[in-house]
């Protein structure tokens, strides 16, 4: 047997106290904990901590190039690694848009320069040139340059014929299309759910059918073309019912939801706090219930943060003027851990939603604590409390409605490819 | 009664007792408005800024006159709404006003929540003179005061609100005030001009204006923004006025002493028959007079509140 370079001693994995042995950046073995001596190995005492595979976020906005004042690749990855993530997929709505191989390469260079050992960046290429929803982007070029998926996130493709062709063309590259589902005519730039609260506040609302109508379109196309499609940030019961229907018919569909859709409702918007303005908007208690049920039943496949950092001055404005988005990388782990702690989802759901499903769906390196897996993992103190504040956040974006809240569960140290990063 | 509220953002912040107190105070000031010399020194040395980010001659003049009749110094800070599309401006406006050490600000703004935005950041009183489609509490209070002067009490009365309710801050604030004061409220409008969750409102909803008018004690017409047609919310103004406008037929169906209100400015012949606007049933000009008295009462109560 090779000698381990790193030994994590007496950490807990699935209820057992184990020693994790790492060599060559990979998992050598996991064995019942002992006091065995390992010649030349670095030994980390981890008693009392949970061993967790690093998380994968399939949906972030890192803002570089173009909007570095909101976030840059280095600050985004820093927030990611402190938040428990090893793999980050970043959306293409930068300036210039990531619709050509040069931009993709530059993003990857920046990521590597900031964090040579990870977290790893996996760019999502634009589905259409300039995200203008007029012409297909050069998807083969983008895939060769390192894009792992294509999306027009933020600017839905209204033209269904063009969207069909985009799905077909993308399928040749073997990379999935991620769709932000929103009927652009029903959305009215609202940033809040249409219903009781929007009526009370006198704000234009976006109805849940704006999302569900486009979900339905996408599912019908995916079935007709027999092509896999991934649906981003699902927020409401109507969409879930449609996805469940499609999955039953064997449609190749995967779907994600975000922590804020599980922990907040439209009532959070009362008081016009712009940190609650997201797209799709926060929905109702009934939608939250449907989402949790869908996670338990596997209808929703994975979590994503939809990390969308903005500068303070951009959010300190009238609600209708404010940009949409929550800065999510710093808090996503603790927020979703809360769902496990309160018994709303199981530990297995949690692991599937943050690691297995995203890695398998997008072909990213996965650590499932099997021999030979990449050694991406972190030590987690599940009961340790911390306060989400501008000081404790590593992202430049401090825009989150959870600011000031005491969260439970913290990353103690994070190892990527067997190297300690945090 | 000691006034303790700092800001007036919407009617929902007030209790029934608060509204009665405003009406009583306004009754007192109404009397001053009928004197030959319409000025008292009550608010001498106080200053109020009238910040109208959305044009409104009517409401602004009413506040200006209310302030001046109480010897309060009023300053206008009017900005064209186009220069306010950049959000920093509202925060900067707040900081500027804070630095001027004023006693109150009256704000009219196109964005729902703009008054709340200022109130959060300022120590002085903020009075909402209309924010987006959210609230228009001073209009609701003057409407209520007008009816109170007619009827003495609002309990048991039925008020029909007719027109573009979906986009109306006047309707929103009036529903809260009228139901709080014991009146019943009816809505009548095409479905495209009703709020989406209408079932949860404490109102009876009609799509037939004749049904809606039967036996009501007052009809409040709302101004139809003619752009609603381009927005695809109605086919044309002619059809609207025929099916949802107020005409003689509805007045016949209503209670014999029905009162007609309109927050102005009116589109004569669109939401209201021109002759009805000038008829004996019309309280449109009483509303204007009440407006000054109610706003005097509000400035007085908010600026001299117990801190
Ligand atoms: Zn999106």
pLDDT digits (tens, 9 = 90+) for A29-38: 999 998 888 8
Please answer yes or no on whether A203 and B117 come within 8 Å at the CB atom: no
List, edge to edge, every strand of the sheet that includes B218-221.
B204-206, B184-188, B158-162, B218-221, B259-261
Candidates A189, A269, A318, partner chain B, best to mutate (most B CBs within 10 A) = A318
Contact check, Cβ <8 Å, B132/A203: yes
Ligand 1: distance of its center to the CA of A343 in Å?
A: 28
Asked whether B181 and B187 are in contact (CB, 8 A), the reply is no
The Cα B275–Cα B256 span in angstroms is 17
The answer to whether B65 touches B74, Cβ cutoff 8 Å, is no
Q: What is the pLDDT of residue A104?
A: 98
Residue A318 · residue B113 · CB < 8 Å: yes
Three-state DSSP class for residue A214: helix
Measured between beta carbons, which residues in chain B are less than 8 angstroms from residue A196? 197, 200
Is A201 close to B196, i.e. CB distance below 8 A?
Answer: no
Chain B 188-217, residues with CB within 8 Å of chain A CB atoms: 195-197, 200-201
Extended strands (E) in A71-153: 85-90, 120-126, 149-151
Angstrom distance (rounded) from CA A91 to CA B168: 39
Ligand 1 centroid distance, CA of A152 (Å): 8
Give the residue on B whose Cα is nearest the Cα of A204: B133
The DSSP output letter for B292 is H
Residue among A198, A202, A321 whose CB faces B87 most closely: A321
Chain A contact present for B234, CB below 8 A:
no
Query: pLDDT value at position A1?
Result: 61
- Considering only CB atoms, B197 lies closest to which of A195, A202, A317, namely A195
Q: What is the interface size between A and B, counted as CB pairs within 8 Å?
A: 64
ipTM, interface predicted TM-score of the complex? 0.84
Determine contact: B83 vs chain A, CB below 8 A: no
- Segments in chain B below pLDDT 70: 79-88
- Residue in chain A nearest B116 by alpha carbon: A271
Residue A12 has a pLDDT of 95
CA atoms within 13 A on the CB side of A240: 21
Per-residue pLDDT at A59: 98
> Nearest CA of chain A to the CA of B198: how many Å?
8
Q: Which pair of structure tokens corresponds to residue A134?
A: 């007029």
Residue A90 in contact with residue A329, Cβ under 8 Å?
A: no
Crossing angle for the helix pair A237-248 and A285-296, to the nearest 10 degrees: 30
Residue B232 corresponds to which tokens in the numbers above? 């695809």
Which residue of A187, A188, A202 is the best one to mutate when testing the B interface, meaning the one whose CB has the most B CBs within 10 A? A202
- When computed from its CA atoms, the radius of gyration of chain B, rounded to whole angstroms, is 19
Residue B184's DSSP bridge partners are: B158
Q: Looking at the complex, does the CB of residue A185 fall below 8 Å from at least one CB of chain B?
A: no
Contact, A155 vs A127, CB < 8 A? Answer: no
B231 CB-near residues (< 8 Å, 6+ apart) = none
- How many whole angstroms from A154 Cα to the centroid of ligand 1? 5
Catalytic pick among A218, A287, A306, A349: A306
The pLDDT score that the predictor gives to residue B92 is 86
Contact criterion met (CB below 8 Å) for A209 and A186: yes
Q: CB contact, 8 Å: A195 with chain B?
A: yes
- What's the half-sphere exposure (Cβ side, CA atoms, 13 Å) at A211? 31
Q: Under an 8 A CB cutoff, do B91 and A316 touch?
A: yes
Nearest chain B residue (CA) to A200: B134
Check CB contact of A225 with chain B, cutoff 8 Å: no
A306 classed as catalytic: yes
At A360 the three-state DSSP class reads helix
Note the pLDDT of residue B82. Answer: 44
Using an 8 Å Cβ cutoff, are A272 and A201 in contact? yes
- Cβ-based contacts of A283 with chain B (< 8 Å): none
Cβ B163 vs Cβ B225: under 8 Å: no
Given CA atoms A361, A210, A206, A64 in this order, what sign does their dihedral have?
positive
Residues of B with Cβ-Cβ distance to A267 under 8 angstroms = none
Contact A414, A82 (CB under 8 A): yes
Give the Å distance between the CA of A408 and the centre of ligand 1: 27
pLDDT tens digits in sequence order for chain A, 422 residues long: 678 999 999 999 988 999 999 999 999 999 999 888 888 899 999 999 999 999 999 999 999 999 999 999 999 999 999 999 999 999 999 999 999 999 999 999 999 999 999 899 999 999 999 999 999 999 999 999 999 999 999 888 999 999 999 999 999 999 999 999 999 888 777 889 999 999 999 999 999 999 999 999 999 999 999 999 999 999 999 999 999 999 999 999 999 999 999 999 999 999 999 999 999 999 999 999 999 999 999 999 999 999 999 999 999 999 999 999 999 999 999 999 999 999 999 999 999 999 999 999 999 999 989 999 999 999 999 999 999 999 999 999 999 999 999 999 999 999 999 999 99
Q: What is the pLDDT of residue A189?
A: 72
- Dist. CA A79 → ligand 1 center (Å): 20
pTM, whole model, 2 decimals? Answer: 0.91
Q: Does A198 touch chain B (CB under 8 A)?
A: yes
Distance of CA A114 to the CA centre of its chain: 20
Looking up tokens 């001498």, which residue turns up? B44
Nearest to B135 among A198, A199, A202 (CB): A202
Q: Indicate yes or no: CB of A202 within 8 angstroms of CB of B90.
A: no
**Of A230, A290, A282, which is closest to residue A259 (Cα–Cα)?**
A282
Spatial distance between the Cα atoms of A411 and A421, rounded to a whole number of angstroms: 11
Query: Among A55, A49, A73, which residue's Cα sits nearest to residue A394?
Result: A73
SS3 A409: strand
Q: Indicate yes or no: CB of A319 within 8 angstroms of CB of B113.
A: yes
Could you give the CA distance from residue A156 to residue A138 in angstroms, rounded to a whole number? 18
Are residues B197 and A199, on separate chains, in Cβ contact within 8 Å? yes
pLDDT, tens only, B48-86: 999 998 888 899 999 999 999 999 999 988 765 444 455
Dihedral sign for Cα atoms in the order A249, A253, A258, A264: negative
């Amino acid at each position: 047997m090779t000698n381990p370079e790193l030994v994590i001693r007496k950490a807990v994995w699935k209820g057992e106290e184990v020693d994790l042995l790492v060599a060559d950046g990979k998992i050598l073995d996991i064995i019942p904990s002992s006091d065995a001596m390992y010649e030349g190995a670095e030994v980390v005492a981890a008693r009392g901590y949970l061993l967790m595979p690093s998380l994968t976020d399939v949906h972030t906005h890192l803002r570089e190039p173009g909007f570095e004042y909101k976030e840059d690749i280095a600050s985004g990855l820093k927030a990611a690694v402190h938040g428990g993530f090893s793999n980050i997929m970043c959306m293409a709505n930068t300036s210039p848009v990531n619709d050509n191989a040069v931009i993709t390469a530059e993003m990857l260079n920046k990521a590597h320069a900031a964090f040579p050992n990870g977290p790893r960046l996996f760019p999502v290429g634009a589905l259409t040139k300039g995200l203008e929803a007029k012409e297909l982007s050069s998807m083969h070029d983008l895939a060769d340059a390192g894009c792992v998926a294509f999306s027009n996130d933020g600017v839905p493709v209204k033209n269904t014929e063009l969207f069909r062709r985009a799905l077909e063309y993308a399928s040749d590259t073997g990379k999935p299309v991620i769709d932000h589902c929103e009927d652009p005519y029903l959305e009215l730039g609202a940033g809040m759910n249409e219903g009781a609260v929007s009526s009370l506040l006198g704000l234009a609302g976006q109805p849940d059918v704006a999302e569900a109508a486009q979900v339905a379109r996408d599912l019908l196309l995916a079935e007709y073309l027999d092509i896999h499609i991934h649906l981003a940030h699902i927020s409401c019961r109507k969409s879930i019912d449609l996805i469940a229907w499609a999955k039953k018919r064997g449609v190749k569909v995967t779907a994600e939801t975000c922590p804020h859709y599980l922990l907040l409702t439209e009532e959070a918007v009362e008081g016009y706090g712009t940190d609650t303005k997201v797209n799709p908007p926060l929905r109702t208690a009934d939608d939250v219930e449907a989402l949790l049920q869908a996670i338990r039943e596997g209808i929703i496949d994975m979590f994503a943060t939809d990390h969308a950092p903005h500068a303070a001055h951009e959010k300190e404005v009238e609600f209708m003027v404010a940009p949409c988005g929550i800065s999510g990388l710093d808090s996503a782990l603790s927020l979703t851990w809360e769902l496990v702690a309160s018994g709303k989802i199981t530990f297995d759901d949690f692991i599937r939603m943050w690691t297995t499903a995203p890695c398998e769906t997008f072909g990213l390196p996965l650590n499932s604590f099997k021999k030979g897996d990449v050694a991406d993992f972190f030590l987690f103190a599940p009961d340790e409390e911390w306060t989400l504040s501008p000081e404790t956040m590593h992202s430049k974006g401090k825009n989150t409605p959870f600011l000031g809240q005491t969260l439970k569960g913290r990353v103690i140290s994070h190892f990527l490819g067997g190297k300690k990063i945090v | 009664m000691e006034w303790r509220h700092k800001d007036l953002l919407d009617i929902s912040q007030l209790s029934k007792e608060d509204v009665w107190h405003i009406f009583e105070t306004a009754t007192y000031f109404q009397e001053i408005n009928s004197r030959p010399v319409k000025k008292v020194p009550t608010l001498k040395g106080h200053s109020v800024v009238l910040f109208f980010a959305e044009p409104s001659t009517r409401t602004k003049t009413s506040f200006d006159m209310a302030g001046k009749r109480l010897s309060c110094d009023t300053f206008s800070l009017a900005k064209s709404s186009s220069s306010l599309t950049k959000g920093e401006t509202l925060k900067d406006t707040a900081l500027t006003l804070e630095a001027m050490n004023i006693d109150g600000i009256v704000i009219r703004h196109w964005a729902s929540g703009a008054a709340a935005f200022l109130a959060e950041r300022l120590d002085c009183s903020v009075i909402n003179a209309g924010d987006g489609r959210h609230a228009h509490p001073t209009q609701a209070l003057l409407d209520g005061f007008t009816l109170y002067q007619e009827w003495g009490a609002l309990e048991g009365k039925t008020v029909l609100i007719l027109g573009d309710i979906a986009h109306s801050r006047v309707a929103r604030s009036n529903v809260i005030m009228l139901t709080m004061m014991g009146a019943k409220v009816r809505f009548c409008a095409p479905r495209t001009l009703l709020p989406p969750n209408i079932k949860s409102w404490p109102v009876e909803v009609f799509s037939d204006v004749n049904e809606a008018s039967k036996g009501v004690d007052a009809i409040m017409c709302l101004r139809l923004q003619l752009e609603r047609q381009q927005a695809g919310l109605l086919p044309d103004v002619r059809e609207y006025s025929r099916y949802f406008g107020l005409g003689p037929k509805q007045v016949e169906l209503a209670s014999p002493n029905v009162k007609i209100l309109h927050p102005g400015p009116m589109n004569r012949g669109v939401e209201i028959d021109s002759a009805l606007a000038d008829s004996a049933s019309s309280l449109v000009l009483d509303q204007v007079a009440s407006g000054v008295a109610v706003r005097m009462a509000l400035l007085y109560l908010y600026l001299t509140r117990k801190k």
